[in-house]
Structure 1
Amino acid sequence: MGHVISVRGSRAQVGFPAPTPLSHARPTVGSFLSMKAVDSTIVGVVTAVESDSGPHGYRAKAHVDLTGEIVRTADGSAQFRRGVTVFPAIGDAAEALSSDGLRVVYGSSASRTIRIGHIAQNRDVPALVDYDSLLSKHFAVVGSTGVGKSSGVAVILNAMMAADAGLRVLVLDSHNEYGRSFGERALVTGAGDLRLPFWMFNFEEMTDVIYGGRPAVPDEVDILAELIPLAKSHYQSYKVSGERPALARRTVRSGGFTADTPTPYLIQDLMALIDERMGKLENRASRMTHHRLLARIEAIKNDPRYGFMFENANVGGDTMASVLSRLFRLDGDGRQVTVLRLATLPGEAVDAVVCVTLRLAFEFGLWSDGALPLLIVCEEAHRYASADPSVGFAPARRSLSRIAKEGRKYGVHLGLVSQRPAELDPTIISQCSTLFAMRMTNEADQALLRSATSDIAAHLLDLVPGLGTGDVIGLGEAMPLSTRLHFETLPAARVPSSEMTVGRPETGSLGGDELVRTVIDRWRRATSGQSLVEEEAPALVPDAERPSILRAPASDHGPGAPTPLLQQARASILKR
């Protein structure tokens, strides 16, 4: 095809005498060239092509990065290794790397490899990834919306689970997309069947739920910090003695518990302690502080959207083992992945739920000495670990950062998925040794990727804005060589898709009134737990026919005698 006309460090220029016919392999950006050396074949990738009318007589020239060489081993087989020991000389012939050469380059020598697609230059050459490097050193998949990012994640996870039956995966699914992507391997859970008791939340997570992500009231926080350990101690003493004495008749001590200790307690015990303390106060402002705190707890406890936390708030029982077994697939039912549908949870509680999930995963790995490999896949990772410290829930960022920095020592691994990597904490994404970059047009996102990789083939990131759907640039330690590849195509039934659109009726199949009523029903059901849309609006009842607690129904009561309804109302007022 051409000859070497310049060599500078790990880069060379190759001149071409004439345009290459369409029927032949053509030297274009991203294609591979080979140059013969004494004992090896030098492999380079084309980074730029331009016309040339210089004195050498070449019509075009290509800029080539020298990435490695193919050598012969003792048994005569070909093996690729990164780095170049013998550089090409001026005039050395350059030709397109053959299919066999590509297979040698991308035929990983790792003991466990997974196939995630094929090389963009040749569909017959599989794209293999080193499983152990991919898992143990974290990975990230980044790309704009609509480029096949979720499908790529599903391909990677399916391949990883097929290679390692002992791997457990937890997908934090922000948009309810992955419910059908893993078939029988997956447990899909959400607000309807998720059980994450409130007492498993630490103090920061609990206060974030109570205040709905808004700034907490310092005086109320102080009350919670003091009384939650007392409620835990009271529950433990009641559990040991089998009796439940009135809180007001005994002196409750913290018993060594802290507000962060993951041990059960009853929400009614906490409320009783707050109420008891409020009754002893003479200052009206202090009493109102306690009263507002009680009202907050009561409101969130009775909100059906928080049923996953408070369903058995007054029943008790240590369910931590069953919760962890179900969440992290430790119950041995053959399913390896849990898909946690975050979009079904109250928006105000999502940050706290993500935080407690990440924290439980790390703590389980820590105290189990990494007995089981656990992979946490975090969709929309920039939401929970923003580059701006003032944005998001700080404890969630700390939990994610802790897994990124220390998780691999305890068998807890991380997979980040984001459409805005520039908004992701750079400390966290820098811990990902393998990057899968799909199409992105934002300059800040591309700049971050360049700064996060030290690979010699980082020039491939210049191709990112022009990648097609499903195309990806693979960089890092799990890749035999950084390259452009295409993800495997998933069956139509496994393609990630939001559950909001799956099964949606065709436009026009619902009448205007029916559509509005359906929307209102779902809207109200989300906050009430039951349907509140009536079949038909009730007719107005004349004032004279409306029931009233002050109007005596037809009965045998004599004139002037109080009716049962009136007595009930009076008793309720007196009680208040």
Structure 2
Amino acid sequence: MQIVGQTTQLEAWVASRTRPFSINEILIIEDSGHRDPKAEVVETRTFNRYIPLASEQHNLVDDSVLRGLRQVGFDIEDEEIHLAKLRLLEELATPVRVGSRVRVPQFSEVESLLIKRRPKDGLTLGVIQGTREVAEGMPPDLQDVALLFDKEDGVQRQDGVPFVFDYRSMDQYPHIGIFGGSGSGKSFGTRVLLEEIMKQRVPAVVFDPHFEMTFDNEFPGLPDHYRESYKKKFVLLVAGTDIGIDFVDLTADDIVSLLRASSGSITDAMETAIKSMHKKGDSYLSYSTRMANLAEALDNEAEIREQARDLAMLPVDERERVHTLSKLLKEYKDKVGGFSGTLRSVMRRMYRLEMEGVFTNAGTKLVEEAFMKRQLVVIRGSMYFLNVFAFYVVRKLYRKRREYRDSIQKGRPIEEAFPPFVIITDEAHNFAPKGDIPAPAKGVLKEIAQEGRKYGVFLVFATQRPALLDDTITAQLSTKMVFRTVRSVDIAVIKEETDITPEEANRLPYLSSGTAFISSAITGRTTSVRIRVSKTTSPHFKNPFEELEEAFAEQDSKLWEALEGQLPIDAFNLNAYLTEIGRKVGRPVTYDELEHALDDFADQGKLVREDTPFGSRYKKV
């Protein structure tokens, strides 16, 4: 293998007669003047006599490459030639020497480049593409730690150097983005990341709108040494049942943000009323009762004022009610604009949230208990629900962690420690959308994106649409796992926010499922990684069409067993068989279903269908 053609401080071409090049593999250029620099293959080609490489108008290879091939002895008209474009991993002061020999490195020569942490101390996410030959010299602790999966062949051996993410460096380079379209392997990659977070016992909270982040079921076909149980490492909570918003914790601004996000919009008058009537420490009952009473007082203002002038004439119970309403009118009428409709609009929005279970005394107690056990917490619910809960949960947990760290800095440590933690969201663009789109948790998430690393709070944002994610947050994601992405606007954002090369950007729409470019400030470069097989499965793991076949195969089997004992069956008398067949299959069977089943079994060759003067008769074969 030799360097050919024109070279620069950053790029070069390498050619070989015998060895095809692998995309993303690392090679060493034997140029002593530059201390044998390392380079990565970013583009590969192979030419032979059937492809006219020497054409003057050739649009695939630069003329300087053709001249360089000839100069080092290649017969470009008759030989098969393997070419690769190299990107040097470090910019040089001068270009590498043309004609320099190129070789595959020993593992020890690239270990510091490829391995930032050993598997026991980092997150083992997959296998670095193009490292199969290099991996032959790996030590035992790097072998068989990242098995792979192929849909055709099942679980596969590790065929390269493992990619181990140095999560401990997130205190300097915080936050992770996981981008990829439908079917790209984004959810699979997120699951693997969460398994590794649990393995390292890092407290984390996951907002799961797709009801798939559970870790009870083992991935099928794993070898014994690779299996691992996560059942005691995570807690599953249902939003509105196991966890809720404690109204007492809310400020007036919080209530405004909550109602605006959950209801679409609120008027200025409604915002004024919410803030004017809120008192610190209000429960839902005390706040809503105060608002309802004021609405009643405004509707009956003249009557209330008249009764208030002579309270002694009223019954005791009525006297107390009129006194309360009169006091509310005096204190709040001018502040809320004197219109009960505004108050009732606020009350309807609050009542909707209360009826859906948003306001409970549960608060974040179960999350905090799980954090102290260093567990992962999965909060499950609809996107609407999670958007509401994320605002409260994230803010409260972040405040607790910040107060704990601030107290240490000020020399006044509080009694109970609160651990660092990670926040993970799927469909992240719904939690922190770009532009002015309202979202209750957006403000606190932006604050964490900018300030969270100081307090040990980190974000993992997964989304199919990075172009719809808030710009401030996107800019703070120091590590980005980019799976197959097709939309041009999303690719444009990825190109702007990562250091992927033009060649890698062009490959994004064609990446195989489960392969990702991991661009990280921690590694200092973009690495192509095939994500390892997960050790657990999603509830949605089974192919829906396989599920359909299995379900109906079992149903058909039961129906066949019930029918077989009734044969022969005459079509004109099907009603006579329905009760007995239904009893045997354990459910009611309709006339149409039985008729359809008989025809299906006849088409499958299980029955013989004969035509008679009275219609069809079905008999055993």
Map 1:463-482 → 2, pairs under 5 A: 463-479=507-523, 481-482=525-526
Structure with the bigger percentage of helix:
2
Which residue of the partner structure matches residue 549 of structure 1? none
Map 1:481-496 → 2, pairs under 5 A: 481-491=525-535, 494-496=536-538
Which residue of the partner structure matches residue 175 of structure 2? 138
Task: Tell me the CA shift for residue 405 of structure 1.
Answer: 0.6
Amino acid of the residue matched to residue 94 of structure 1? V
Amino acid of the residue matched to residue 84 of structure 2? A
Amino acid of the residue matched to residue 307 of structure 1? G
Q: How many residues align?
A: 436
SS in 2 for 1:55: helix
SS in 2 for 1:7: coil
Inter-partner Cα distance in structure 2 for 1:424 and 1:290: 34
SS in 1 for 2:67: coil
Amino acid of the residue matched to residue 392 of structure 2? V
Task: Tell me the CA shift for residue 299 of structure 1.
Answer: 4.9
Inter-partner Cα distance in structure 1 for 2:24 and 2:543: 37
Q: Provide the aligned C-alpha RMSD in A.
A: 3.4
- What do the CA deviations read for 1:283-313 (whole angstroms, capped 9, x no partner)? 6972444445445544543x2xx22424x5x
CA distance 1:392–1:497, shift in 2 (3 Å):
farther
TM-score (norm 2): 0.63
CA distance 1:348–1:149, shift in 2 (3 Å):
closer
Task: Tell me the CA shift for residue 100 of structure 1.
Answer: 5.2
CA distance 1:84–1:184, shift in 2 (3 Å):
farther
SS in 2 for 1:196: coil
Which residue of the partner structure matches residue 326 of structure 1? 366
- What do the CA deviations read for 1:348-382 (whole angstroms, capped 9, x no partner)? 44322222222223222221117521111121111
Is the 8 Å Cα contact of residues 117 and 165 (structure 2) preserved in structure 1? Answer: no
Identify the match of residue 235 of structure 2 among 164, 177, 187.
187
Moved more, 108-117 or 174-183: 108-117
SS in 2 for 1:482: strand
Which residue of the partner structure matches residue 104 of structure 2? 96
Amino acid of the residue matched to residue 139 of structure 1? I
Which residue of the partner structure matches residue 105 of structure 1? 113
Identify the match of residue 206 of structure 1 among 235, 247, 255.
255
Q: Greater CA radius of gyration, 1 or 2?
A: 2
Which residue of the partner structure matches residue 506 of structure 2? 462
Inter-partner Cα distance in structure 1 for 2:542 and 2:267: 37
Which residue of the partner structure matches residue 359 of structure 1? 395
Inter-partner Cα distance in structure 1 for 2:345 and 2:469: 37
Residue 379 of structure 1 pairs with residue 426 of structure 2: yes
Task: Tell me the CA shift for residue 504 of structure 1.
Answer: 7.9
Which residue of the partner structure matches residue 55 of structure 1? 67
Map 1:525-544 → 2, pairs under 5 A: none
Map 1:255-294 → 2, pairs under 5 A: 257=280, 263=281, 265-281=282-298, 286-294=339-347
Which residue of the partner structure matches residue 315 of structure 1? none
Which residue of the partner structure matches residue 170 of structure 1? 205
Task: Tell me the CA shift for residue 109 of structure 1.
Answer: 6.2
Task: Tell me the CA shift for residue 411 of structure 1.
Answer: 1.2
- What do the CA deviations read for 1:415-442 (whole angstroms, capped 9, x no partner)? 1111111111222111111111111111
Inter-partner Cα distance in structure 1 for 2:438 and 2:98: 56
Percent identity over the alignment is: 19
Which residue of the partner structure matches residue 188 of structure 2? 151
Moved more, 86-95 or 429-438: 86-95
Is the 8 Å Cα contact of residues 324 and 330 (structure 1) preserved in structure 2? Answer: no
Is the 8 Å Cα contact of residues 173 and 342 (structure 1) preserved in structure 2? Answer: yes
Inter-partner Cα distance in structure 2 for 1:48 and 1:363: 48
- What do the CA deviations read for 1:375-410 (whole angstroms, capped 9, x no partner)? 1112111112222x23342x4222211111111111
Inter-partner Cα distance in structure 2 for 1:171 and 1:400: 14
Inter-partner Cα distance in structure 1 for 2:342 and 2:122: 60
Amino acid of the residue matched to residue 33 of structure 1? L
Task: Tell me the CA shift for residue 49 of structure 1.
Answer: 3.5
Residue 222 of structure 1 pairs with residue 231 of structure 2: no
Is the 8 Å Cα contact of residues 168 and 328 (structure 1) preserved in structure 2? Answer: no
Which residue of the partner structure matches residue 520 of structure 1? none
CA distance 1:108–1:220, shift in 2 (3 Å):
closer
Amino acid of the residue matched to residue 271 of structure 1? S
Inter-partner Cα distance in structure 1 for 2:405 and 2:534: 36
Which residue of the partner structure matches residue 117 of structure 1? 126
CA distance 1:449–1:294, shift in 2 (3 Å):
closer
Which residue of the partner structure matches residue 8 of structure 1? 8
SS in 1 for 2:476: coil
SS in 2 for 1:405: helix
Inter-partner Cα distance in structure 1 for 2:487 and 2:469: 14
SS in 1 for 2:36: strand
Inter-partner Cα distance in structure 2 for 1:460 and 1:328: 42
Amino acid of the residue matched to residue 358 of structure 1? V
Q: Which runs of 5+ in 2 are unaligned?
A: 48-52, 55-65, 133-158, 217-229, 303-337, 407-417, 556-621
Task: Tell me the CA shift for residue 209 of structure 1.
Answer: 4.8
- What do the CA deviations read for 1:53-80 (whole angstroms, capped 9, x no partner)? 3334244543211104xxxxxxxxxxxx
Task: Tell me the CA shift for residue 279 of structure 1.
Answer: 4.5
Is the 8 Å Cα contact of residues 433 and 468 (structure 2) preserved in structure 1? Answer: yes
Inter-partner Cα distance in structure 2 for 1:296 and 1:196: 15
- What do the CA deviations read for 1:548-572 (whole angstroms, capped 9, x no partner)? xxxxxxxxxxxxxxxxxxxxxxxxx
Inter-partner Cα distance in structure 2 for 1:508 and 1:205: 51
Is the 8 Å Cα contact of residues 168 and 329 (structure 1) preserved in structure 2? Answer: no
CA distance 1:14–1:194, shift in 2 (3 Å):
same
Task: Tell me the CA shift for residue 272 of structure 1.
Answer: 2.9
Which residue of the partner structure matches residue 66 of structure 1? 88
Is the 8 Å Cα contact of residues 404 and 428 (structure 1) preserved in structure 2? Answer: yes
Inter-partner Cα distance in structure 2 for 1:292 and 1:90: 76
Map 1:322-471 → 2, pairs under 5 A: 323-329=363-369, 332=372, 334-343=373-382, 348-369=384-405, 372-387=419-434, 389-393=435-439, 395-454=440-499, 459-471=503-515
